[in-house]
Amino acid sequence: DGGITQSPKYLFRKEGQNVTLSCEQNLNHDAMYWYRQDPGQGLRLIYYSQIVNDFQKGDIAEGYSVSREKKESFPLTVTSAQKNPTAFYLCASSTDREVNEQFFGPGTRLTVL
């Protein structure tokens, strides 16, 4: 089955630790995205990548880093520089050549203790 997977579903970390969230897709999509959702707020774009080895900052990139070494994978690292890392993180992908709907993964709930 084609789709997007994110792991783990729930993640706990101590304050000051970096943590990497996984996102994998087998939809052969060129573009991938990371969003963050907080209560009472819309999805906010952290980073996006339209092609392998290239990515751009979204609206709230500070304290995060990404890599896109493979088309299928777009891991997100939440660094200790991120002031409020506890949130629900969503990964998405889409075809690149036209404006199209994005397909979302199930999300990862990160809690920093």
Partner 1 sequence: DQQVKQNSPSLSVQEGRISILNCDYTNSMFDYFLWYKKYPAEGPTFLISISSIKDKNEDGRFTVFLNKSAKHLSLHIVPSQPGDSAVYFCAASALSNQFYFGTGTSLTVIP
Q: Which residues contribute to the site for partner 1 (CB under 8 A)?
A: 4, 6, 9, 31, 33, 35, 40-45, 48, 50, 58, 88, 90-92, 94, 96, 99, 101-107, 109
Strand 108-112 to strand 10-13: parallel, antiparallel, or no bridges (unpaired)? parallel
Phi-psi domain of 40 (left: phi exceeds 0; alpha: psi -120 through 50; beta: other): left
Least distance from C-beta 43 to partner 1, angstroms?
A: 4
**Alpha-carbon gap, residue 109 to 97, rounded angstroms:** 31
Q: In sequence order, what E strands does 1-113 have?
A: 4-7, 10-13, 19-25, 31-37, 44-51, 54-57, 64-66, 76-78, 87-94, 103-104, 108-112
The least CB distance from residue 87 to partner 1, in Å, is: 13
* Between 5 and 17, CB nearer to partner 1: 5
Q: Which is nearer to partner 1, 19 or 89 (CB)?
A: 89
What is the nearest approach in angstroms of partner 1 to the Cβ of residue 31?
5
Structure tokens, 82: 């991120």
Considering beta carbons, is residue 43 or 67 the nearer one to partner 1?
43
- Least distance from C-beta 12 to partner 1, angstroms? 15
